[in-house]
């Protein structure tokens, strides 16, 4: 579900006329990529980390941020009211459980690649999976730092 999420965020970037800014400004691109990176966090950590990202988000990216909040997070209610339900529930797009379950699979793939077994899966996909797992298993960083580290790995465009 991560790839369709990345595609939808990239389509929003294009729809709001931010493609050039996304392509030319690496800091802005990292902020945009931090949104789909939330899918790799445990579900209870998604909304608090989104709030941290939102507090530091560039004004130019506000339309994409609002789209993501409306569709994937749920708009925060006024005062002490709870968030409105998102159009796409977090449980549908969050891949944290899948990522953790896939860890042993990826480790097996790495071992097979090292001994020369050819697979249809490309080696860069294995390396990317390993980098994601390394970041997610780092106990000393906050969720916000984890999401920002994952932005270096996530691509919104098809590779």
Its domain, for residue 63, covers 2-95+142-150
Establish if 59 belongs to a structural domain.
yes
Per-residue pLDDT of the chain (159 residues; tens, 9 = 90+): 678 889 999 999 999 999 999 999 999 999 999 999 999 899 999 999 999 999 999 999 999 999 999 999 988 877 777 888 888 888 888 888 776 665 666 667 677 777 776 666 577 777 887 888 888 788 777 888 888 888 877 777 654
| CA distance linking residue 132 with residue 106, whole number of Å | 11
Q: Confirm whether 62 is domain-assigned.
A: yes
Q: How many domains does the chain have?
A: 1
Residue 130 domain-assigned (yes or no): no
Question: Using CA atoms, how far apart are residues 81 and 78, in angstroms rounded to an integer?
Answer: 6
């Amino acid at each position: 579900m991560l790839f369709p999420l990345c595609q939808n965020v990239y389509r929003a970037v294009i729809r709001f006329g931010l493609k050039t800014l996304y392509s030319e400004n690496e800091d802005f691109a990292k902020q945009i990529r931090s949104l789909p990176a939330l899918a790799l966090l445990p579900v209870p950590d998604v909304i608090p980390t989104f709030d941290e990202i939102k507090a530091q988000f560039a004004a130019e990216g506000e339309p994409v941020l609002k789209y993501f909040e409306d569709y994937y997070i749920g708009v925060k209610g006024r005062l002490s009211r709870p968030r409105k339900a998102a159009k796409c529930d977090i449980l549908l797009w969050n891949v944290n459980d899948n990522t953790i379950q896939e860890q042993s699979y990826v480790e097996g793939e790495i071992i097979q690649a090292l001994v020369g077994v050819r697979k249809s899966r490309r080696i860069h996909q294995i390396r990317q999976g390993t980098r994601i797992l390394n970041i997610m298993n780092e106990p000393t960083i906050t969720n916000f730092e984890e999401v920002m580290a994952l932005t270096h790995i996530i691509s919104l465009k098809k590779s």
